[in-house]
Homo-oligomer: A and B are copies of this chain.
Amino acid sequence: MKLYGYFRSSAAFRVRIALNLKRLSTDTEVVNLRTGDQSAARYKSINPQGRVPALDIGEAVLIQSLAIIEYLDETHYDPPLLPADALGRARVRALADLIACDIHPLNNLVVLTYLKRELKVDEAAEKRWYQHWVAEGFAAFEAMLAGSGATGRFCHGDAPGLADICLVPQVFNAQRYDCPLGRYPTLMRVFTECMKLDAFDRAQPSKQPEAATIA
């Protein structure tokens, strides 16, 4: 398998965590989002959407981080990233989607670039935009964690899974944009638990080989 990624892409970060939890190793190729590798014809022939991550599994190239992670979970059973019961899976997928659909897409590099280039939004307003969507989403995420007996050491029970995989990269992004995080004690407790695990720690942006040369 070959993972096309970028150290700061939080969607690629999610897939790196999932691969680590599953104890799977892949070849990797850096797609430098700052220099436009993702829009080059070569990469578009791999992923027509021109985004990362993409996972080449030989018989196909998989795209979209959540679809990739569900595939890994279906084809490599141990450890499971989703609960065994349908209701638990619905809760975990809802937590994951809350981040993957309602926070991250708004704060993606392509969107921030559009705000600056097309809408002439200045740095302060860009930061407010970023912080707004994090605050909206994290408040709901916190309420869902704090209000449910299903929350354990991690977002759902005592083993890490898909919701944690989405949460951790989003917290990294929030910290980069100075988002106040004191209002989300449960969410931050889970984040801290996750970061004690090697699978999460090794996946973080600063520990990717390209971090030293690109940043």
Contacts and interface: CB of A to CB of B under 8 A. Distances in A.
By size class, the interface of chain A is: 35 or more
A8 to B, nearest CB: 18
A158 interface: no
21 contacts: A48-B143, A48-B144, A49-B144, A51-B102, A64-B98, A64-B101, A67-B89, A67-B91, A67-B93, A67-B96, A68-B90, A70-B89, A70-B93, A71-B89, A71-B90, A74-B86, A101-B105, A102-B105, A110-B136, A119-B119, A119-B129
B64 A97 contact: yes
Interface of A: 48-51, 59-60, 62-64, 66-68, 70-71, 74-75, 86-87, 89-91, 93-94, 96-98, 100-102, 104-106, 110-111, 114-115, 118-119, 121, 125, 128-129, 132, 136, 139-140, 143-144, 147
Given A111-B106, A118-B128, A97 B48 contact: no
Contacts of A111: 106
